[in-house]
Amino acid sequence: MDDVAQTLASDWKYVSEGGATIVFSYVGSPNPSYDGMVLRLRKAVNLGRPVDGMVNEDEPDDPIIEYQKRCMERLLSRENLPLLRSVRLERTWLEQLAEKHDKERPEARSRKDQIDFTRQKGVLATDLVGGDWIAVEVKPKWAFLPSHSHLSEETKAKKVQTCRFCMHSFMRNKKNPEYVNHYCPLDLFSGEADRVRKAIDALWDAWEHSNGGVNNLKLFAHGKVVLPGQIERLVDEKTDKEAVHPEQIKQMFKQALFNTLMKTSVLKAISRLQRTLDPLDIEGLSKLWRETELQSPLYKSEHASYSEQPVSNERIPTTPLGASSIYLPASEPSISDWVEFITNYQSNAAKEMDHSQPKADHLRYYLLAYLLSATFKDCSIIVKLDFLRPGRQSTPTVYPVSVIDLDPKSLDRLQKWEQLDREIGLSKLEQQSRTRKTVLEKKLSRNEKISDADAVWLDHDANLIDGVAIIAFFKENTEELLHTFNRQLRLEEVARLKDTRIDEYFTRK
Ligand SMILES: [Zn+2]
């Protein structure tokens, strides 16, 4: 194991930090151990007194190394994963590093925490954005539409025709009209040239519109963020930048990104993982959770009164999805749990599971599967491109794409996701109803004929979407109300992978 104290604090450049870690990149004299690498260190909160940490002679490697080796390398090709290895640290060296770079950190961060000086080991990782190339970070998000089987009647029509990301974008745009994003992950993941181009166009537009603020696309040149007003930085140093039109840079960039995305197999792999790890949708998972708890002997004996009264299952209180209780204990998965899960997931037995009728015995499997699916729904890919050389003929190199942000998710997130899923669904429904109302009212104002069913809808249910009353009403009467809307909407069967824009649906003749 290399000892990082052989390098100088000044050989490292501060890059960035998150809540738990801080990252430096190596900029010292050529050294095969450190060239092209970043150092990722754990942080510790400021305690206002010197920390006299206990020296653990046998400190294990950082868990991210073990997690990648034992889990991620079994799911993704090694070519698509950054290289990670352990490196030995020394307290005095860490203190020098902190002293040298503390002023470069955001003040809000340095007030709160610092490098954890007690650590004996850090992580060296491939520097994906810091070198002499363009690094494009894309957060592709949800690659698939859920299968029909476990969706409630109320949400089915929306969930199988509009993808989750597009529904979410609708909701965000409604809350904040500044947020405009027409990117659809289904296009990016489709593998079809036209649709991949469309996805790239949309990513670029959202990036431009938000002045680099959306998190689906980020550009870096020589390790520094490129904003929409600085795209000349994507051009090769030897080119006369003044002579290049921004439109040409934009088109060349899109073409280069397209070339890599069409060639890489990683999007396909991510899509397959997301899909096969989430066969129930959060609705189905939640239902299975509830049913499993209701079946537990302790729950039955303590809540005997419920079984005496004719109450529908949905109205019996149970603990929230993922929350451990005496009836249904659920512990956060350890690395060994993940290893075991992946073995099960890749076994023949898993391939034979009937997901249309999930068994209570398999609840733990489905919970971990959903969490792992969430990891792949939330990961980013880094595409490496050569600097653009307008006007010069050269075959661009296509580099392997790297997948990052693959941290495991924890069970306590499930409740929030379930809540968000509901919010997105309702928001979409409200949006659909508003659009429909507007369309019908316009028709009436032009003295055009509308169908009897539409007229009835307009007189009754359409009024419910006005004002904030609907939110309260939704909470009270979700089921009934959704049924009414659903009946009225008469949504057509659509091909499973087609992402119909709802406005088109309602404005169609
Ligand atoms: Zn979509």
CA nearest neighbour of 267 among 182, 190, 184? 190
Could you tell me the distance, in angstroms and rounded to a whole number, from the CA of residue 375 to the centre of ligand 1?
19
In the structure encoding, which two tokens stand for residue 458, read together?
């307009």
DSSP 235: B
In the structure encoding, which two tokens stand for residue 406, read together?
């693959």
Q: How many angstroms separate the first and last alpha carbons of the chain?
A: 69
The helix or strand, by DSSP H or E, that contains position 281, with its residue range, turns out to be helix 281-295
497: pLDDT strictly greater than 50: no
Could you tell me the distance, in angstroms and rounded to a whole number, from the CA of residue 168 to the centre of ligand 1?
9
Q: In 3-state terms, what secondary structure has residue 384?
A: strand
**74-78, 236-240, 374-378: least confidently modelled range:** 236-240
By residue count, the chain amounts to: 509
Mean pLDDT on 464-482: 46
Could you tell me the distance, in angstroms and rounded to a whole number, from the CA of residue 232 to the centre of ligand 1?
31
DSSP 493: P
In the structure encoding, which two tokens stand for residue 301, read together?
């004996």
Q: Give per-residue pLDDT as tens, 152-176.
A: 777 777 777 788 898 888 888 888 8
Q: Where are the alpha helices (DSSP H) in 184-264?
A: 185-189, 193-209, 246-263
Mean pLDDT on 11-23: 89
Confidence of residue 262 (pLDDT cuts 50, 70, 90): very high
Say how many C-beta atoms besides its own lie within 10 A of residue 263's C-beta: 12
The helix or strand, by DSSP H or E, that contains position 97, with its residue range, turns out to be helix 91-101
Could you tell me the distance, in angstroms and rounded to a whole number, from the CA of residue 408 to the centre of ligand 1?
25
Could you tell me the distance, in angstroms and rounded to a whole number, from the CA of residue 428 to the centre of ligand 1?
13
Q: Give per-residue pLDDT as tens, 418-451.
A: 988 888 877 766 767 777 788 888 888 888 888 8
Report CA torsion sign: 39, 40, 46, 49.
Answer: negative
Which amino acid is present at 385? L
Q: Give per-residue pLDDT as tens, 197-250.
A: 999 999 999 999 999 998 899 999 998 899 999 999 999 998 888 889 999 999
Could you tell me the distance, in angstroms and rounded to a whole number, from the CA of residue 163 to the centre of ligand 1?
4
Say how many C-beta atoms besides its own lie within 10 A of residue 490's C-beta: 9
Confidence of residue 490 (pLDDT cuts 50, 70, 90): very low
Could you tell me the distance, in angstroms and rounded to a whole number, from the CA of residue 427 to the centre of ligand 1?
15
d(CA 498, CA 47): 54
Strand 37-45 and strand 21-26: pairing? antiparallel
d(CA 18, CA 276): 30
Task: With beta carbons less than 8 A apart as the criterion, state whether 366 and 123 touch.
Answer: no
Residues in contact with 353: Cβ distance below 8 Å, sequence separation at least 6, in sequence order: 362
Could you tell me the distance, in angstroms and rounded to a whole number, from the CA of residue 190 to the centre of ligand 1?
11
d(CA 201, CA 217): 11
φ, ψ at 172 (rounded to 5°): -65, -35
Could you tell me the distance, in angstroms and rounded to a whole number, from the CA of residue 161 to the centre of ligand 1?
9
DSSP 25: E
Could you tell me the distance, in angstroms and rounded to a whole number, from the CA of residue 469 to the centre of ligand 1?
29
Task: With beta carbons less than 8 A apart as the criterion, state whether 25 and 223 touch.
Answer: yes
Could you tell me the distance, in angstroms and rounded to a whole number, from the CA of residue 143 to the centre of ligand 1?
9
Could you tell me the distance, in angstroms and rounded to a whole number, from the CA of residue 185 to the centre of ligand 1?
6
DSSP 3: B
Per-residue pLDDT at 269: 98
Could you tell me the distance, in angstroms and rounded to a whole number, from the CA of residue 162 to the centre of ligand 1?
6
498: pLDDT strictly greater than 60: no
User: What percentage of the chain has pLDDT greater than the value 90?
Assistant: 54
Q: Is 503 exposed, middle or buried (0-12, 13-18, 19+ CB in 10 A)?
A: middle
d(CA 497, CA 500): 9
Q: Is 14 exposed, middle or buried (0-12, 13-18, 19+ CB in 10 A)?
A: middle
DSSP 118: T
d(CA 169, CA 184): 9
Which amino acid is present at 481? L
In the structure encoding, which two tokens stand for residue 104, read together?
């470069």
Q: In 3-state terms, what secondary structure has residue 336?
A: helix
Q: Kindly list the distances between the CA atom of residue 363 and the CA atoms of 34, 71, 328, in Å, as whole numbers in the listed order.
A: 44, 20, 10
φ, ψ at 386 (rounded to 5°): -75, 155
Could you tell me the distance, in angstroms and rounded to a whole number, from the CA of residue 344 to the centre of ligand 1?
31
Could you tell me the distance, in angstroms and rounded to a whole number, from the CA of residue 150 to the centre of ligand 1?
20
d(CA 76, CA 401): 11
Per-residue pLDDT at 507: 32
Could you tell me the distance, in angstroms and rounded to a whole number, from the CA of residue 302 to the centre of ligand 1?
45
Confidence of residue 496 (pLDDT cuts 50, 70, 90): very low
Q: How many helices (H) and strands (E) does the chain have?
A: 21, 11
Could you tell me the distance, in angstroms and rounded to a whole number, from the CA of residue 218 to the centre of ligand 1?
20
Could you tell me the distance, in angstroms and rounded to a whole number, from the CA of residue 165 to the centre of ligand 1?
6
In the structure encoding, which two tokens stand for residue 423, read together?
């919010």
